Structure formats: C-alpha cells, structure tokens
Structure 1
Amino acid sequence: MQNAKLTLMLTLSAVTLSACTLAPKYVRPAPPVASQWPIDTPTTADVHLKWRDLFLDKRLQSTIDLAIAQNRDLRVAALNIDHAQAQYRIQRSALLPAINASGTSTRNQTSDTYSANLGLAAYEVDLFGRVRSLKDAALESFFAERENRNAVQISLIAAVAQQWLTLAADQDALRLAKQTQAGQLDTLKIAEGRARIGVLSDLDLNQITVQAETARADVARLETVIDQDKAALTLLVGAPLTPDLLPDGLTSGLVIDALPVGLPSDVLLARPDVLTAEHDLKSANANIGAARAAFFPRITLTGSTGSSSSDLDGLFKSGTNTWSFSPAISVPIFAGGANRAGLDSAKINRDIAVAQYEKAIQSAFSDVSDALAVRSRIDERLSAQTAATNAASRSLTLSQARYDTGSDSYLVLLDAQRTLYSAQQTLISLQALRATNLVALYRALGDDTSLN
C-alpha cells in the first residue's frame, strides 16, 4: 500500500512537471522604427560598450566606482531584484507538493489518543498549466527587475559622468571669468588715474567700471554654480567627495574621441529598458495561460499517512498505521462571467505591454538619433568657434592699439572685449557639449557588457 501511494504521488508530480501551459506562443513584435539611423553615420557590427573604455580619466572612473557602491537608487534597484527572485521562488514552489509533519494528543473522559502524521495539503495537479503559467510570469518579472537594475546603473554612470564634466567646464568658465576680472580691474585702475588728470571722460570711466563690475558678478555667479555642481555630484554619488576625485577643467584625454554605433536592430533590442519592457510583455503573455486555465477543472490532492494509538509508548508499533487520501475536483460551471473577464483582462494587459515595448524601442531610437545629430556636426561647430575666437582675439588687439593711439573711442574697445569674452565662453560650452555628447550617446546606446 505504501509503495502504491508513493508511486501515485511520483506519477502525479511527473505529470505536473511535464504539463504544457495554455499561454500563447510568444512572438517578439517587429521594431516600429526604421532600419537605419536618420543621421548618416558609420555603423559597426557587434558593438559592445564598456564605460571604462569611454571615460578614461582615473578621477572620473573612481567617482563612478564610488557612485556604483553608494548610490541609493541603484541600491533599491538591486533589492528589487532580490524581491522579485523571492517572489519567483514562492511561485515555483507551488509546482511541488508541500509535505508537513504533525503530531496531536487528544484527551477526553474515557480515553487518550496520540497520533503522528505526514501529510500532503491541497496540492494542485497542474494539468492545464495554471501554476506553471504563474511561475513563468513571475520568472519574467524577475528578469525585468534585473534589466531595470542595469538600466538604472547605466543612467547613473552617465549622470555622474555628465555632472563631473559639467563641473570641469564650469571650472574653465570660472578661470576665464577671473582672468577677465583681473584684466578689467587693471584697466579700471589705469582709467581712474587718467580720469583724475582729465585725460579720460566720465562716460568712458563709467563704461570701464560697468565692465569690471560685470566681470566681478560673473565670478560670483560661477562660484555659486560650481558649488551647486559639487552638491549635485555628491548627491548622485551618495557619499562625500574628496578633492582628489574632482576635475580640474576640461583637459584632453578625459573621454574617448568617438563612440562606435551599431545598426538599430542590434542596438535598440539590447538596451536594458527595452529588455525590461520585453520581459514585462512575456510576463503578461504567460498570465494569459493562467487565465485560460481557469476555464478548466482544477484537481487538488490531500492525503496523509501516520500512526495513531491510545498509548504514547505504542504510537509506532505494528497495527497503528493510518492513512487517508482525498482527491478533489472543482469544475467551473457558473462564475458570473469572472473567468471570461479575467481572460479579457489578461489579453488587454498583454496588448498594453506590447504598446509599452514598442514605445520603449521608439524612445531608444529617438535618444540615439538625437545624440548622433549632435555628434555629426559638433566638430564643425568647434572648428568654426575656435576660428571665431581667434579672430575676436586679434580684433581686440587691433582695437586696443587704435584706442591707445586715439583712433577709436573706448566704446569700440569695450565692444571688442565683450565679443572676445562671449566667444571664449561659447567655445568652453561647445567643448563641454562634445564631451557630454559622448556621455549621452553611451546612455542612449545602453549596452554595457561590464554590467553582465
């Protein structure tokens, strides 16, 4: 009898484990984007990005390492993976029978009864794949959380790099503002002396004073901006930053010069956020199988085997064995449309997941296209701005000479000073844009094999 019961349980378990599901066969939706980038750009097959190959400066790398270790958003994303994995393990456990041991003692006026049992409690025989479908859905949710964590890490790396490079650019802007302020103060001292002896008009003196005070205001503004940059970077990193981690202006060699780009079909489908959306879609697809299984009978098994005796010492002696086996079947006949509504809801959720997956691909395509649009012309803009800055510098030299000889008024010299200062500021901004564009392209491409 014991062998027969064991064989029955093993057979039922084998049937359950080999059961098919009623979930539709998953077919990946076609990407709703063009097969080529809208910007003409060289493409490379099998592109894999690693942030350490992109961000070359050791200080920047150390700052990113610290952020990966300390950032709270990334920590929460990692914990969400653990939570999803635990939920999957809970759901997977329903595929196997739960066996419990119990012991009881009953005393009344006439007799005492002792029993010890090993029982199987309401185990569902998964003939139509309901439990397996729920397990598959939970597994895909776990995969989605894992890809979401990768997306959070890539976004964090990009955000830290961009903020670090922005700080470097603002340091250059502050250095330029201080140099300009020093020059303006020297000019103001000379002008005040000339005004006292009547060589310089009050109008010119006031113009020089305005220029000097404007430079002083720029220095104060940029000092504030740099303090804010450091605070924002500290928040991203999640820990205090030591001076050896901070940049010292936009020097060469901070990042690589160019970033390889693959075809849309290779790039977009590998982005963690797109993979997250696809796993969510697969989870929704699996839930349809569970909803379909609700239309079919559910078989549950309850049983136990053990020993019962009126004497505790004789509990496990011969002749005290007991057993019970109680299969049950539940056939849905009328549920007020609940099962049909459940299936409709599961299908609608699948359709929503399809739309979200397609939107994720479209967003990824737009992100890469925007970054490529900047990259395609940034070198030309930098070349033009460098030439314009050099020309503005020569114009200032000529204007200074003409002013010293009395050929031009101070207003002409003042305009030349403003033009050069503005050109230098624009050049710094474009240099920062070129560096941060590589960061934006890294974030948009989203494939960092070092995360796997």
Structure 2
Amino acid sequence: MCILSSVSGCALGPVHPQTDLSLPPSVNAVASTAPITPVSGPSQTIVAGSPVAKDWWNAFGNTELNALVELALRHNNDIQTADAALRQAAELGRAANGAKLPTLDLSYQAQRARVSNALATPLFDPNQTLYTLHTTQVTVGYALDVFGGVKSKVASARAAAEVQRNHFEAARTTVIANVVLAVIQTGSLKAQVMAVTQSIASNAELLTLMRRRQQLGSVGASDVATQETALASAEGALPPLQRALAHQHAVIAALTGVAPGNPLPPIPDLAAMALPQSLPVSLPADLVRQRPDVQAAEAQMRGAGADVGTAIAARLPAFQLSATAGGVATDFAQMFATGNPFWTLIGGITQPLFHGGALRHQQRAAEAALDGAKAQYRASVLQAFVDVSDALNGLRTDGDALDAANRASDAAGRTLHFVRRQLELGDVGTLTVLNASAANAQASLQLIQARAARLSDSVALFQAMGGDWQSRSANTGEK
C-alpha cells in the first residue's frame, strides 16, 4: 500500500505488465544443424543458438556491397528520421523526469503608477502622487507524488523513448537488408537481361537458318513466320526486365539518400556475391530479446501500464506545497530593507469529486490501451517466429530448387545444341526448334532466379534474427 507521507510515491498501475506467450518448440525441432548441401552450388550450415555477427552483410564477401551498405547507413533518410524521433523522445523523457523535482522561479516587477489625490492616504505624500513600486520574489513549488502519478508519467515517457530507440534499430536493420536485397535483385536482373539478350541472338540465328532452308525449299513460309514470332516474343521479354533493372537502380539511389539518376557507386554482379556458409538461428527466448520490433512492443506495453497508473492517480488526492519570499519597496535598493520583505507558505490537497465521469473513463481507456499493447506484443513475437520459419523453410527448399534449375539448364542447353545441328542438317521440324529454344531461355532465367533466391533468403534469415543486435547492445550498454 502507498503511505501518504511518502514523497517518492508508489506506482498504482502494473509496473512490469506481462502476458502469456506461445513459444515454438526448441530450435532443434525447427532447424537441424545439418548443412544444406545441394548437388550444385555451395553448402550452408545452420548453427542453432549462434549469434548474428557484427556487420553480417560482410558474409556475402563483396566490398562493393559493403560500401553501399555503409553509404546507406550514413545518408538514408529513414534512418535519419528514426534518429530524430529517438532524440525527440529521449529529450521528452528527460523533461518528464523534471516533474519529480521542485520548481524554483525568480521574478522581478517594476510598476510605475500615479494615484488620484482623492485616493491618497497617509502612506503617500499628497503632493507626490507619482511613484514606482519594485517587487522581487522567489517561488518554490513541489507536488508530493504520494500515489505515483508523476512517477508513472516519467515511466511512460521513458518507455516511449525505448520504443523509439527500438524503432531506430528496426529501421537500421531494415535499411541494411533492403540494400542487400536490392543489390541481389539488381544482379539477378542484370543476369536475366544478359540471358534474354543471348536468347534474342539465338533466335535471330535460328531465323537466319530457317530462311536459308526456305531458299532451299526445305521449309515453307509458315515455318519462317513462326520463327519470326519466336524472335519477336524473345525481344518483347527484354523491355520489362530493363524497366525493372532501372527501378532497382532507383531503389538503391533512394536507399543511399540520393535522387534517381545520380551516379551510383559500383553495384556488384550476382556471381560476385558469395553465399554465406554459416547461418545463425537463435533460441526462441533469445529471439524475443533481440528483435527490435518485439522489444519496441514490449516497451509500448510497459508504457501502457504506466499510463494506467497515471489514470488511477488522477482520481486520488493531489498534495501541493508552495512557498514565496520576496520584497517590495518604492526604492529598488530598499526592497529587502527592514520591514519590506514578505513570505508565504501554502500547503494544499485537492480531491477530485465530480468530473462528469471523465476520470473513470480515462482509466478504463488506459486499461483498454494496455490490453491492446499486450495483444500487439504477442503478435510481434509470433511474427518474429513466422519470419524465422519462413526464412528457414525457404533456405531448405532453395537448395532443391537450385538443383532442379541447374539440371534443367544443362539439359535445355544440350537439347538446343543438338536441335541446332539437326536444323543445319535439315533433319528437324520447326516445332522442335521452337520448343528447344523456349525451354532453354526459360531454364536460364529460372537458374538465375534460383541463385538469387538462396542469397535473398539468407538475407531474410539475418533480418529475422534482428540483425547485428549484439553490436547495438554493446553500444547502448545493454546486457
């Protein structure tokens, strides 16, 4: 219970609100530590309980990528916006803390006045009705935080600052992941543009062969027209890829804080990026502690609990002490002469009696906000587990997809080579040529996309783990 004579006050709302969580099974039941070893391409090892390395993007082994990430960390506008919001919330928290201390104000007032002869008193010389009055006073005020209303407001402000700190860290992690993903997507699109360009050249060569055979009478005009259609289709696949590639360049420009069209640092090709060999997977309890979005939701829940305490304290008596001391004189130098100083000491208590139910409903609203914050916290925790599960499942299936894409690309390339030889010898039909050409182009694109998917899902796992949270904890003094 609160003691009325207590100056520091006590918290009436939940200081550390908690809620039930639905945790997944042990990480070993979700992700085996056995390496992901596709037939083609490098293997990856998932290490249960391993922390995320500082500067985890270095695991992709490309200095050009690292330079782009560092550039984004310095100039990205989302990070700068989050940083400004963090600094604002921190200052508001410090301002709220000032309410726990007494207030001290100094004032000075000079009054020049003339009194009427009819109002003159023995205090005034009837022949001197014009005078100057100097007043200086110091006022001290202190609100006794008996029921912890001020303490709860301070706790709420500090929780708000903690929310913004975690939002800043989440923005930083998101920007880093988005830069790496944009670089991967750019490399993938560049490779796809090259593959489609090669497909266009291949179809153009096939059309030349068709026309030669038409001149020899081996094929008809319809076969040539069919190949012309295939060439036009291949050429039509190029502009969307070029447009998507230009968009990715614009995305990278925006992430690094410059307008699209400005020169960009070198962007690595897909083949120049290494696949991380070791991938960390945190235990469920660690994941909840290190994800900035989950920590932001937890701080929001604490802030909502403090707001409940503030609402409860608003319905209870408020105690106030104030004191004033000063001096008044018609001569500035005589304000504190004998007889001129004055002082007052006031103690007061205010008990809300009737506010039209507003205070009661404000408390209920704060309690509803706390329930909502608890639900949001549970949702954030579950989303963290979903992100990890999706990334792990993606990595497991990426290896199979890459194997299939490699086999398909090899087979399609061999088939097209044989069909071209048969076409040169006049021993193959037009439909066979078209099918082989289309299959080879499709297999080439699928192989590029499968390689990009392994890189992208590796990024997704790093992001799902909360990024380089150990580095952030060291910088902020967390344990």
TM-score calculated relative to the size of structure 1: 0.90
Q: 1:94-149 deviations in whole A, cap 9, x for unaligned?
A: 1111111111234443354322111124x311111111110110000000011011
Q: Which residue of 2 aligns with 1:217?
A: 236
Structure 1 letter corresponding to 2:236: A
Q: Please name the residue that 1:96 is paired with.
A: 101
Separation (CA, whole Å) in 1 of partners of 2:384 and 2:65: 26
Match of 1:68 among 70, 73, 95: 73
- What CA deviation, in whole Å up to 9, does each residue of 1:377-424 have, x standing for no partner? 211221122122112222222323333333321321221121111111
Please state how far the C-alpha of 1:205 moved relative to its aligned partner.
1.2
**Residues 431 and 46 (structure 1 numbering): CA distance in 2 closer, same or farther, change over 3 Å?**
closer
**Change in 2 beyond 3 A, CA 1:164/1:363:** same
1:20 aligned residue (4, 10, 16) = 10
1:252 is displaced (CA, Å) by 4.4
- The one-letter code of the counterpart of 1:213 is A
1:398 aligns with 2:418: yes
Residue 246 (structure 1) aligned to one of 267, 272, 276:
267
Q: Structure 2: which amino acid aligns with 1:204?
A: D
8 Å Cα contact 1:95/1:132 also seen in 2: yes
Amino acid at match of 1:225: A
1:329-379 alpha-carbon deviations (Å, 9 max, x no partner): 102333333332222222111111100100111111111111111111211
Who is 1:308 aligned against? 328
How far residue 31 of structure 1 moved from its aligned partner, in angstroms, is: 2.4
Select which of 366, 382, 403 maps to 1:383: 403
Indicate the residue corresponding to 1:6 in structure 2.
none
Find the counterpart in structure 1 of residue 383 from structure 2: 363
- Of Structure 1 and Structure 2, the greater helix share is in 1
Question: 1:137-148 counterparts in 2 under 5 A?
Answer: 137-148=156-167
Aligned equivalents of 1:272, 1:126: Cα separation in 2: 33
1:3 aligns with: none
Corresponding residue to 2:32 among 32, 41, 46: 41
Deviation at 1:216, TM superposition (A): 2.0
Tell me what 1:4 maps to.
none
Q: Secondary structure at the match of 1:325?
A: strand
Aligned CA distance change for structure 1 residues 243 and 324 (closer, same or farther; 3 Å) = closer
Q: Percent identity?
A: 26
Query: Once the 2 structures are TM-superposed, how far is the Cα of residue 432 of structure 1 from its aligned partner?
Result: 0.9
Give the whole-Å Cα distance in 1 for the aligned partners of 2:114 and 2:73. 66
Is 2:197 the partner of 1:183? no
What is residue 343 of structure 1 aligned with on the other side? 363
Q: Which moved more, 1:381-390 or 1:110-119?
A: 110-119
Q: Contact between 1:309 and 1:320, CA under 8 Å: does it hold in 2? A: yes
Separation in 2, partners of 1:116, 1:230? 67
Q: 1:268 to 1:146 in 2, by over 3 A?
A: same
Deviations 1:144-178 (A, max 9, x none): 01101111111111112111110100100111111
Instruction: State the superposition RMSD in angstroms.
Output: 2.2
TM-score if structure 2 supplies the norm length? Answer: 0.85
Cα distance in structure 1, aligned partners of 2:253 and 2:110: 64
Asked if residue 437 in structure 1 is aligned to residue 457 in structure 2, the reply is yes
Structure 1 residue 220 displacement after superposition: 2.8
Count of equivalent residues: 436
In structure 2, relative to structure 1, the CA distance for the partners of 1:259 and 1:31 (3 Å cut) is same
Task: Check if 1:237 corresponds to 2:265.
Answer: no
Counterpart of 2:254, as a letter, is L
Equivalent residue number for residue 245 of structure 2: 226
Q: 2:188 aligns with which of 158, 166, 169?
A: 169
Match of 2:327, SS? strand
Which residue is equivalent to 2:121? Answer: none
- Which stretch has the larger CA shift, 93-102 or 184-193? 184-193
Retained in 1: the 8 A contact 2:73–2:79? yes
5+ long unaligned stretches in structure 2: 34-46, 116-123, 125-130
Indicate if the aligned counterparts of 2:288 and 2:381 stay in contact, CA closer than 8 A.
yes
Give the residue type in structure 1 aligned to 2:232: E
Superposed, 1:271-350 pairs within 5 Å as 271-350=291-370
One-letter amino acid matched to 1:284: A
* Alpha carbons 2:92, 2:157 under 8 Å: kept: yes
Q: What is the distance in 2 between the residues matched to 1:19 and 1:233? A: 52
Distance (Å, rounded) in 2 between the aligned partners of 1:227 and 1:439: 22
Output the CA distance in 2 between the equivalents of 1:169 and 1:199.
40
Q: Residue 200 of structure 1 is aligned with which of 208, 219, 229? A: 219
Deviation string, structure 1 residues 230-255 (Cα, Å, up to 9, x no partner): 122222322156354322x3114445
| C-alpha separation in 2, matches of 1:377 and 1:221 | 28
* Structure 1: unaligned runs, 5 residues or longer: 1-13
Name the SS of the counterpart of 1:251 in structure 2: helix
